[in-house]
């Protein structure tokens, strides 16, 4: 580190992978993929298709090699992320589209493939679901490799590290990270990306501290600048002082000791000091996530998003294909339960439904239960698969995006018809399969007492409930500060839902990101929520918070918090509680 350093500068982004690292910066800039358009003749079509098939084959071999490399560096479960890449490589919908345009337009196949893949990635990037949005990077990653083979260029990693360094980039792709020299990479910081991206998941598996979403990052730093990356708080501190480095050293030591102590809670219940127990379960998108859930002590799956089954097919998944996946998930999670959420996806061309169109405003458009009720054949196929899988004895189902009681009643009527048909066919018995609903739209929340008697449970989807209540797009960085789960308006709706559910003698859970926020744990416990479902890594911390609190002490405080005027006032009160009862979690 130079003797005379510039002034310390703290850049704030979003925490993606916890951990702290210090070292010089290496800036990675990916070159633009310029593909020139040229005309071909009809007799060149077979050779162009042959070039594409060879490029796809080489890309598949390349990804399998990377998969094996990551399997050796991490685990089979972590390396399974590359399964999605393999599916994208020979995605029949993309390839057939390329071949059709090749015959119609008579242009070189590099240009057409690049254009089709770009459009597909843009469709994914425009989707409102953050999980699906993140898949755009995977398409860009895979198509970039296919293009490189088409052009005869190199596809190897372009990130050259000669010494231990922090990698800074506008964005990183999964294969960039996989081919990075792990022995020299200290951490990563990017302008774009998210904590749910495959890059973040892989960085977590590699124990590589990461911060994403630092605005104008690559313009604010230079190669060889020294920086400290704080993946806990989402900070990149440029030119840290000796005092900052000392304080972080002490802090990191205490964090390591504390993380070790959390492991002792794995098999203990999430029970408050006065004996009130909350079920802590996990949210998953892929069956490969189940081992990590178990490792963190999750009591089942509170939200299994089934969308991924539909996104990686050039056709709709069959009843049998869905049945096998749901059944295997249910078997793997025993002795606990799994809640299967029916298809919750927007009206978008990326799903193979002929009636799908692109909505001008997908947040308010044709998605969730609206799409399911309009496409009853698709809905029935999924419900049949779920009902058959329920033979495992631990499956519940729930419907997303219910805004009106008529929607719930129509969905339930179809569900009961499916059950009756399967029973008459001798494919299932007459056991009761719990049927619930997501409560994520203010109209339903305000009328929770109407919905509650008609379902077996309610799961509050705070991600959508917050953004619909406050009219804030949580993915829009310009208004991200207005996305406030602690807003009194949101908390009053949650209180109303919980009271309505308990009056109807059913349980109520929360499965949005707010469930993992330990600052909000006191209010959820005090309001009487029965279950919290979250990403697996947050479970030990939330359990520790619950085991530090008394529900009876919090109940009267909740009434006072909900009378406050702003989210800031509520958070101030909640942070005082957290500071009093579990200050070690705030470190």
DSSP SS3 for 25: strand
Q: List C-alpha distances in Å: 510 to 209, 337, 462, 530, 571.
A: 28, 16, 7, 8, 19
Which residues are CB-neighbours of 424 under 8 A, at least 6 positions away?
A: none
User: Are 326 and 389 in contact, with CB atoms under 8 Å apart?
Assistant: yes
Distance CA 7, CA 12 (A): 16
Annotated catalytic residue: which of 198, 276, 375, 487? 198
As given in the structure block, the two tokens for residue 106 are 């008579």
Phi-psi region at 402: left, alpha or beta (left = phi > 0; alpha = psi -120 to 50): beta
Distance CA 258, CA 255 (A): 5
511 a catalytic residue: yes
Within 10 A of 237 (CB to CB), how many other CB atoms are there?
A: 22
Q: In what order do the strands lie in the sheet with 14-17?
A: 9-12, 235-238, 226-230, 20-28, 165-169, 185-190, 210-212, 14-17
Nearest to 455 by CA among 555, 352, 331, 369: 369
Q: List C-alpha distances in Å: 51 to 24, 94, 152.
A: 42, 16, 10
Annotated catalytic residue: which of 375, 435, 511, 558? 511
Q: List C-alpha distances in Å: 56 to 27, 60, 88, 522.
A: 30, 6, 10, 52
Q: How would you classify the pairing of strands 301-305 and 14-17?
A: unpaired
Distance CA 522, CA 530 (A): 13
Nearest to 329 by CA among 339, 319, 320: 339
User: Are 582 and 547 in contact, with CB atoms under 8 Å apart?
Assistant: no
Distance CA 446, CA 200 (A): 37
> Helices 130-151 & 198-205, crossing angle to 10 degrees?
90
Distance CA 155, CA 148 (A): 6
Distance CA 166, CA 225 (A): 10
Dmax over Cα atoms in the chain, in whole Å? 81
User: Are 347 and 357 in contact, with CB atoms under 8 Å apart?
Assistant: yes
Distance CA 116, CA 223 (A): 35
State the alpha helices, DSSP H only, in 404-482: 405-424, 442-446, 448-451, 462-470
CA angle 302, 306, 311 (to 5 degrees): 150
Chain position carrying tokens 């979003």: 14
Question: Which residues have a catalytic role annotated?
Answer: 198, 511
């Amino acid at each position: 580190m130079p003797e005379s350093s510039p002034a310390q500068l703290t850049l704030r982004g979003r925490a993606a992978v916890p951990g702290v690292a210090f070292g010089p910066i290496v800036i990675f800039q990916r070159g633009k993929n310029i593909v020139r358009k040229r005309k071909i003749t009809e007799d060149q079509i077979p050779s162009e298709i042959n070039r594409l098939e060879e490029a796809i084959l080489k890309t598949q071999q390349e990804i399998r090699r990377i998969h094996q490399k990551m399997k050796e560096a991490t685990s089979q479960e972590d390396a399974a992320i590359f399964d999605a890449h393999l599916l994208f490589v020979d995605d029949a919908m993309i390839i057939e589209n390329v071949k059709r345009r090749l015959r119609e337009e008579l242009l070189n196949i590099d240009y057409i493939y690049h254009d089709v893949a770009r459009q597909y990635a843009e469709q994914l990037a425009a989707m409102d679901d953050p999980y699906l949005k993140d898949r755009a990077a995977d398409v860009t990653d895979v198509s970039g490799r296919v293009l490189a083979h088409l052009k005869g260029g190199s596809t190897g990693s372009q990130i050259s590290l000669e010494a231990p360094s922090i990698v800074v980039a506008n964005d990183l792709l999964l294969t960039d990270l996989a081919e990075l020299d792990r022995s020299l990479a200290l951490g990563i910081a990017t302008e774009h990306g998210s904590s749910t991206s495959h890059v973040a998941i892989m960085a977590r598996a590699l124990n590589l501290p990461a911060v994403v979403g630092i605005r104008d990052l690559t313009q604010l730093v230079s190669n060889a600048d020294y920086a400290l990356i704080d993946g806990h708080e989402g900070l990149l501190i440029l030119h840290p002082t000796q005092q900052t480095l000392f304080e972080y050293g002490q802090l990191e030591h205490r964090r390591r000791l504390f993380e070790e102590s959390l492991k002792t809670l794995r098999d203990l219940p999430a029970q408050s000091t006065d004996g009130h127990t909350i079920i802590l379960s996990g949210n998953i998108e892929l069956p490969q996530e189940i081992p990590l859930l178990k490792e963190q002590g999750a009591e089942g799956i509170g939200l299994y998003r089934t969308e991924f089954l539909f996104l990686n097919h050039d056709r709709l998944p069959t009843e049998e294909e869905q049945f096998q996946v749901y059944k295997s998930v249910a078997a793997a999670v025993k002795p606990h339960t799994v809640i299967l959420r029916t298809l919750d996806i927007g009206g978008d061309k990326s799903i193979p439904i002929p009636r799908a169109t692109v909505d001008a405003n997908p947040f308010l458009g044709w998605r969730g239960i609206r799409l399911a009720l309009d496409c009853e054949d698709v809905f029935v196929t999924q419900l049949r698969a779920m009902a058959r899988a329920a033979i495992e004895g631990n499956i519940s189902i729930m419907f997303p995006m219910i805004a009106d009681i008529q929607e719930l009643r129509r969905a339930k009527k179809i569900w009961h018809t499916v059950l009756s048909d399967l029973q008459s066919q001798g494919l299932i018995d007459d056991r009761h399969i719990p049927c619930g609903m997501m409560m994520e739209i203010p109209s339903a929340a305000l009328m929770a007492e109407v919905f509650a008697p008609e379902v077996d449970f309610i799961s509050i989807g705070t991600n959508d409930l917050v953004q619909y209540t406050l009219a804030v797009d949580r993915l829009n960085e310009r208004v991200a500060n207005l996305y406030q789960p602690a807003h009194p308006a949101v908390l009053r709706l949650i209180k109303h839902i919980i009271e309505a559910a308990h009056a109807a003698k059913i349980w109520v859970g929360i499965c949005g990101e707010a469930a993992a926020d330990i600052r909000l744990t006191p209010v959820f416990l005090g309001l009487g929520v029965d279950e919290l479902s979250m990403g697996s890594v947050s479970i030990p911390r939330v359990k520790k918070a619950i085991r530090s609190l008394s529900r009876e002490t919090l109940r009267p405080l909740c009434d006072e918090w909900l009378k406050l005027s702003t989210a800031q006032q509520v958070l101030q009160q909640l942070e005082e509680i957290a500071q009093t009862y579990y200050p070690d979690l705030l470190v």
